Structure 1
Amino acid sequence: MDKKTLRRYGIVGRSSRMKALARTIDRIAPTDVSVLIVGPSGSGKELVAQALHSDSPRADRPFVAINCGALAEGVLESELFGHEKGAFTGSVGKREGLFHKADGGTIFLDEIGETKPGMQVKLLRVLEDGHYYPVGSSVPQRVNVRVVAATNRDLTEAIADKQFREDLYFRVSAVKLVVPPLMERRGDIQPLLQWFLREQPKLECSDSALEKLAHYDWPGNVRQLSNFVSRMVALKPEGLIENEDVDSFLAEQYASATHLPVSTGRTVEEAGQELIYRAILSLGNEVRILRNLITSNLPNEAEIQRSSPPVDVPLQGSTMEEMERAVIEQILVETGGNRKEAAQKLGIGERTLYRKLSKYNLS
């Protein structure tokens, strides 16, 4: 039953949370109740909104979507409600807004939490009685639409900070649906990957690469995973997605998250705290990899008795780079300088090993 429901709504996944989400959509889609979809960017909120529309009595009428956070307040008002000729500079003719275009259907207000107080008042009016005023007009227009809204913010906090109207919140959130981030449903990564690769039968993902992907936190969620697949299709249209392919992608993601200036809606202090948190997570991941690298290559008692004294690996007081250099030296000694075998024992690609040999001036 759950599989059929997921498939009907185009939801790819097998986690219990996505199955529960699909069951809730199934119950409320046939109604006219307003819905607030909460989830981080890239998690699939618009897909949920489309599912609500496609299984409703309004399915044969328009589904109209707009990102409220992408437009300035004046532009957003004109986009939503339309305007009269001469309403502002450049308005050379009358234009119908998105509410008019969605009449009889569904309008999806993405990132409603980014709207300004003045716009929130206008949205509240149309939600309460179905009436709105085009910009530059004193004649009210009536519309019959189902409103589905979405946000990646905690609107209860926005209400406490006087940034979002409480009455509007109650109007748009008769039912609240939560789309969990990808890091909270890691079991969905494999089926999503298979779905994105469905039209690329010559490109597959190795088990070890899949395991790495499953352990990444995916701050950009499903959209970021889709971006990874698009990258692989462009760079490697056939063959096997290997560890080094994932390593290269993740290195770019960490670098972008650290260095690119982006608008996040957070204060400087909050953004700084997040960067520190991400750096700690990244460092912790490197430490785990290094620890596994060292312990996996420690000889057992029989090997110790048979072998010559091992290369000394300085641990106390050493940096991670010094420890990594020592481990690579030890493996090269054990393999008699065979770089292919050394890379296999280290669990890294040959190209990665060559880069590290160059970095540490190891011949």
Structure 2
Amino acid sequence: MFFPYLYKQVAWFSFHVNYSGLTRRWKLLFSRKKRILVVDDEVGIGKLIQRLIESEDLEVELAHSAEQARQLFYKNHFPVVLLDLDLPDACGIQLLQEFKAKRPRSLYIVMTGLSTTRTAVKAIQLGAYDFLEKPFDNISALKKLIKEALQFYLEKFEHVPVRPGWEELARRHRFIVGKSPEMQRLVATAYKAAAKDISILIQGETGSGKEVLARFVHAASNRSRKPFVAVNCGALSENLLESELFGHEKGAFTDSVSRKRGIFELADGGTLFLDEIGEASQSLQVKLLRVLENGEFMRIGGEEFIKTNVRVIAATNVDLQERVKDKTFREDLLYRLEVVNLTLPPLRTRPGDIPELVDFFLRKYAQQEGRQVLQISPICLRILQSYHWPGNVRELAKAIEQVVALCEDPVIMPRHMIGLLLHKKPDGHQPERLPENEKEESMDNLVSAPVRYLQACLAKDIDWDHLPPEQLLLANKLARTLSHHLERVLAKRKLAEEEAPGLKDLEGRFIAETLRYYSHNISLTARALGIARSTLYRKIKKYSLQKGV
């Protein structure tokens, strides 16, 4: 009697266990529960994270080695992965790249010790969503970051609308980011770096918006309620700059009749923006390095060190690595400044952002002028988008400001702005108007407008001989680009006016252009062409390229 009873009990227990496991797997399969993978060789940290964030809607899987992480990662789907960069059996960066290549949609948050912060920044540049510093001093920040990552994943891949956290902040501070992927990635990285109390180096061409980005980082940081102070290192002399930054004691030099507190004191708790950091002198670089390393400085003429808590954001439009090679910039200072490197793309590489920038500047300057906001014609936008903008956003702003000040019509047409980009007078007068009989074109005849504006540019009343060199070079570049574009379109539509030139014709044209470039200097032309002077004389005679012919 005992054995049948025991058999029934064992059978019931086996069915209950299998049914329970099946039920759990069934629920996981059909529920909306999200899974997170935590990869950390320290068992205690993994279990701590699991206890903190696991809930009814969130399940946490733990892996304590790279091998264990691979097994879990390739068998399951994890929207978010927390990855320790310092694993005993693999390089964290390489494991990140491996996972990212296999499942690019998943979001990767790397965990790092204080000594490997620079490696974590590299991980973000390779596609990581963000990084966490260990030990975790702020548990709420950990939870918030994971929540933001999940929200971002839901918005991007499951179409649950969630706006980026930085979008509203950028709008409030009038920071026009645009839609280009490079700017979106840059601002997302800047927003994440803002929350970390680390130094940032911003690189970019003149006028690309380095100070605007620095102010955005300050506004997104925990120091936003403290001062933001900007200093241009290239605008002040060495002695004056040191006095401005560090202050001085009474009697430190001839004109110091009283003690003066420096910017490092005044901006305590806030952010100091050092523009054109590449122009700083060697002695100033040494003092800056001490502030970054120890958080202390000494006033000029002082005897005591003063503590300060200032976040430094530096900016430059030169290659500091080259300055390091030239021994004009300290490598250890660059290392301290460049914990995070943000490189602003030039405006010419993101023409799709120009319409949004133009709209912003039109509203801004119309408000300053106290007039109605001007509209801009489609062809004008195309002209602005095709221009190469050597002065970047600052040059665009000045161009729109001038148009708003001079345009008396409600709609900006090409005749209002063609002089701004192509034929300004060298004496600073306003650009010439196109012929009076050329009226505003309607949308019906907009297609013919490019031909009419080319005819206007070829008019005899344009003073090409006195055009500034930079404008003349630009006009030549635009003309060559237009010529190549038209040749390509003509060939595509089979509208070529003549047969393709032969090899001899091409050789003759090339030699003629080279002669013109070197003002018919035979020696320089022969050297550029890689031929002997006698050969060049023979070809000049062959193709009738004598000067004056």
TM-score, structure 1 normalization: 0.72
SS in 2 for 1:176: strand
Once residues 42 and 254 of structure 1 are traced to their aligned partners in structure 2, the CA distance between those partners, rounded to angstroms, is: 23
Q: Do the aligned partners of 1:34 and 1:148 also contact (CA within 8 Å) in 2?
A: yes
What are the equivalent positions in structure 2 for 1:289-308 lying under 5 Å apart?
289=482
Residue aligning to 2:289: 124
Q: Do the aligned partners of 2:270 and 2:309 also contact (CA within 8 Å) in 1?
A: yes
**Do structure 1's residue 215 and structure 2's residue 379 form an aligned pair?**
no
Amino acid at match of 1:214: Q
The answer for unaligned runs of 5 or more in structure 1 is: 257-274, 302-315, 320-363
Residue aligning to 1:153: 318
Q: Which protein has the larger Cα radius of gyration, Structure 1 or Structure 2?
A: 2
SS in 2 for 1:214: helix
1:189 to 331, 336, 354: 354
Residue aligning to 1:24: 189
**Do structure 1's residue 226 and structure 2's residue 397 form an aligned pair?**
yes
Q: Do the aligned partners of 1:213 and 1:246 also contact (CA within 8 Å) in 2?
A: no
Q: Do the aligned partners of 1:203 and 1:237 also contact (CA within 8 Å) in 2?
A: no
Cα deviation digits, residues 85-131 of structure 1 (max 9, x gap)? 12122222111111111101111111111111111001001111011
SS in 1 for 2:248: coil
Residue aligning to 2:88: none
Query: Cα offset for 1:2?
Result: 6.5
Residue aligning to 1:305: none
Residue aligning to 1:99: 264
Q: Structure 1 residues 51 and 294, CA, compared in 2 at 3 Å: closer, same or farther?
A: closer
Once residues 197 and 346 of structure 2 are traced to their aligned partners in structure 1, the CA distance between those partners, rounded to angstroms, is: 27
Q: Structure 1 residues 96 and 237, CA, compared in 2 at 3 Å: closer, same or farther?
A: farther
Runs of 4+ off more than 4 Å: 1-4, 252-256, 275-281, 288-297
Residue aligning to 1:179: 344
How many residue pairs get matched? 288
Cα deviation digits, residues 271-303 of structure 1 (max 9, x gap)? xxxx99985553131244578899999xx99xx
Q: Do the aligned partners of 2:422 and 2:471 also contact (CA within 8 Å) in 1?
A: no
Residue aligning to 2:301: 136
**Do structure 1's residue 286 and structure 2's residue 479 form an aligned pair?**
yes
SS in 1 for 2:231: strand
The answer for unaligned runs of 5 or more in structure 2 is: 1-161, 367-371, 428-467, 495-507, 513-549
Q: Structure 1 residues 4 and 126, CA, compared in 2 at 3 Å: closer, same or farther?
A: closer
Residue aligning to 1:332: none
Once residues 291 and 57 of structure 1 are traced to their aligned partners in structure 2, the CA distance between those partners, rounded to angstroms, is: 53
Q: Structure 1 residues 295 and 161, CA, compared in 2 at 3 Å: closer, same or farther?
A: closer
SS in 2 for 1:58: coil
What are the equivalent positions in structure 2 for 1:1-363 lying under 5 Å apart?
5-9=166-170, 10-12=174-176, 13-199=178-364, 200=366, 201-236=372-407, 238-251=409-422, 280-289=473-482
TM-score, structure 2 normalization: 0.48
Q: Structure 1 residues 254 and 90, CA, compared in 2 at 3 Å: closer, same or farther?
A: same
Once residues 152 and 133 of structure 1 are traced to their aligned partners in structure 2, the CA distance between those partners, rounded to angstroms, is: 29
Cα deviation digits, residues 190-242 of structure 1 (max 9, x gap)? 10000111243441111111111111111111111110111112112542222
Amino acid at match of 1:215: S
Higher relative contact order (CA 8 A, sep 6+): 1
Q: Structure 1 residues 19 and 88, CA, compared in 2 at 3 Å: closer, same or farther?
A: same
Q: Do the aligned partners of 1:6 and 1:22 also contact (CA within 8 Å) in 2?
A: no
Amino acid at match of 1:5: W
SS in 2 for 1:148: strand
Once residues 241 and 184 of structure 2 are traced to their aligned partners in structure 1, the CA distance between those partners, rounded to angstroms, is: 35
Q: Structure 1 residues 252 and 66, CA, compared in 2 at 3 Å: closer, same or farther?
A: farther
User: CA-atom RMSD, angstroms?
Assistant: 3.3
Once residues 38 and 28 of structure 1 are traced to their aligned partners in structure 2, the CA distance between those partners, rounded to angstroms, is: 15
Once residues 139 and 116 of structure 1 are traced to their aligned partners in structure 2, the CA distance between those partners, rounded to angstroms, is: 23
Once residues 476 and 485 of structure 2 are traced to their aligned partners in structure 1, the CA distance between those partners, rounded to angstroms, is: 14
Once residues 250 and 360 of structure 2 are traced to their aligned partners in structure 1, the CA distance between those partners, rounded to angstroms, is: 47
Amino acid at match of 2:420: F
SS in 1 for 2:422: helix
Once residues 478 and 357 of structure 2 are traced to their aligned partners in structure 1, the CA distance between those partners, rounded to angstroms, is: 24
Q: Structure 1 residues 291 and 146, CA, compared in 2 at 3 Å: closer, same or farther?
A: closer
Which moved further from structure 2: 91-100 or 2-11?
A: 2-11
Cα deviation digits, residues 233-277 of structure 1 (max 9, x gap)? 211254222212221101367969xxxxxxxxxxxxxxxxxx999
SS in 1 for 2:213: helix
Q: Structure 1 residues 122 and 172, CA, compared in 2 at 3 Å: closer, same or farther?
A: same
Amino acid at match of 1:93: S
Q: Do the aligned partners of 1:212 and 1:246 also contact (CA within 8 Å) in 2?
A: no
Q: Do the aligned partners of 2:423 and 2:471 also contact (CA within 8 Å) in 1?
A: no
SS in 1 for 2:260: coil
Which moved further from structure 2: 192-201 or 157-166?
A: 192-201
Which moved further from structure 2: 197-206 or 21-30?
A: 197-206
Once residues 204 and 487 of structure 2 are traced to their aligned partners in structure 1, the CA distance between those partners, rounded to angstroms, is: 39
Q: What is the percentage of aligned positions where both structures have the same residue?
A: 43
Q: Structure 1 residues 39 and 294, CA, compared in 2 at 3 Å: closer, same or farther?
A: closer
Q: Structure 1 residues 148 and 11, CA, compared in 2 at 3 Å: closer, same or farther?
A: same
Q: Structure 1 residues 226 and 253, CA, compared in 2 at 3 Å: closer, same or farther?
A: farther
Residue aligning to 1:269: none
Amino acid at match of 1:11: F
